[in-house]
Copies of this chain bind each other. A is one copy, B any other.
Amino acid sequence: MLKQQVERQNTPSMEDYLKAIAMLRNENKVARVSQISQKLKVKMPSVTSALKKLSDKKLVLHQKYGYIELTTRGDKVAKDIIHRHEALNRFFTEILDIEKETAEADACKIEHVISQLSLERVTKFIEFIEACPPGETKFSKKYKYYLEHGEYPE
């Protein structure tokens, strides 16, 4: 799988910028400084300086007043983060039954720090729970019952 190559010389902040750029590109076709600024809730000069850093690291293409694009490498990193985010988000909402906003917020933090291995296991765990065979009541259903009543369903 070789995901190691993609990992952890990037700070959480850098990862957030890459993720934002990738998401804006999908939504709007182009990423602009103002939009990244809005999405990440930082001021524009922070974006400019982050872009400089990411350019130096060959993760984005950007020249003064110009459009912003991810390099192939940047895109790989962004996709990896988005993937981590989605796995965690699913785990929190679908398995732990956590409300959307909290799940989002937690995924946004944890995606930057969780190890590849744990993420893979989380993914497998979701698969496992969803793959529950027809005869049995889904674990998630049982868990939700347990959450409400404090004991196993009959």
Q: Write the residues of chain A forming the contact surface with B, with a CB cutoff of 8 angstroms.
A: 92, 95-99, 102-103, 105-106, 109-110, 113-115, 117-118, 121-122, 124-125, 127-128, 131-133, 139, 142-143, 146-147, 151-152
Copies per complex of this chain: 2
Tell which of B95, B102, B110 touches A113, judged by Cβ atoms closer than 8 Å.
Answer: B110
B113 touching A133, Cβ below 8 Å: no
A151 CB to closest chain B CB (Å) equals 8
Q: How far is the CA of A105 from the CA of B115 in the complex (A)?
A: 8
A114 touching B121, Cβ below 8 Å: no
A149 CB to closest chain B CB (Å) equals 11
A124-B147, A143-B125 given; A133·B115 CB < 8 A: no
A110-B110, A131-B152, A147-B124 given; A117·B139 CB < 8 A: no
- Nearest chain-B residue to A119 (Cβ)? B106
A113 touching B113, Cβ below 8 Å: yes
B98 touching A117, Cβ below 8 Å: yes
- Nearest chain-B residue to A145 (Cβ)? B128
Q: Which residues of B contact A146 (CB under 8 A)?
A: 124, 127-128, 131
Q: Which residues of B contact A110 (CB under 8 A)?
A: 110, 113-114
Return the 8 tightest CB-CB contacts between A and B, nearest first.
A109-B113, A96-B121, A128-B146, A106-B118, A133-B152, A102-B117, A128-B143, A106-B115
Q: Which residues of B contact A105 (CB under 8 A)?
A: 115
